[in-house]
């Protein structure tokens, strides 16, 4: 039983180590850090890093939202429309 627990702990440690290796450091002003610390009290965020990561992901995703104007070639589009008409999805 104790050996199992030990193995579990080792596996957890290895997971954490892998996680750690995938992160890097970004500097933010110390007062801002403290403000964020205050803000995340009693929220689901466990650290300033997790909050900053969340916010940055949101901002980055915002810029990627809308589909580009012409994502498919005319040829592809015609071929697809033909099939959709055949199947009754388009008139």
Partner 1 sequence: MPRPHGGKLINRSLKASEKEKIIDLAKELPQIELRYDLVNDVENIANGVFSPLEGFFNQNDLESCLLEKRISNDIPWTIPIILDVSEDASNKIQEDDEIILRDNKGLLAVMRVEEKYNYDKQKLAQHVFSTTDTNHPGVARVFTLGDTFIGGNIELVNETTRNYENYNLKPIETRILFKEKGWRTVVAFQTRNPPHIGHEYVQKTALTFVDGILIQPVVGRKKIGDFRDDIILASYEELMKHYYLKERAVMSILNFDMRYAGPREAIFHAIVRKNFGCSHIIIGRDHAGVGNYYDPYAAQDIFEEFPDLGIFPIFFKSFFYCKRCGGVANEKTCPHSETDHISFSGTEIRKLICDKELPSEEIMRPEVAKLIICEENPFVSE
Smallest gap from Cβ 47 to partner 1, in A, equals 14
Smallest gap from Cβ 34 to partner 1, in A, equals 23
Cβ proximity to partner 1, 6 vs 15, nearer residue? 15
Cβ proximity to partner 1, 32 vs 84, nearer residue? 84
Among 6, 43, 19, 88, which residue's Cα sits nearest to residue 51?
A: 43
**Which residues bind to partner 1, rule: CB under 8 A?**
11, 15, 18-19, 22, 44, 54-55, 57-58, 60-61, 64-68, 71-72, 76-77, 80-81, 83-84, 87-90
Q: Which residues contact 23 (CB under 8 A, 6 or more apart)?
A: 49
The Cα 71–Cα 80 span in angstroms is 13
């Amino acid at each position: 039983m104790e050996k199992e627990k030990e193995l579990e702990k080792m596996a957890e440690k290895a997971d954490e180590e892998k996680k750690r290796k995938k992160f890097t450091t970004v500097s933010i002003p110390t007062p801002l850090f403290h403000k964020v610390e205050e803000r995340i009290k009693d929220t689901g965020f466990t650290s300033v890093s997790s909050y900053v990561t969340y916010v940055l992901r949101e901002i980055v995703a915002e810029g990627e939202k809308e589909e580009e104007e012409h994502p498919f070639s005319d040829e592809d589009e015609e071929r697809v429309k033909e099939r959709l008409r055949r199947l009754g999805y388009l008139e």
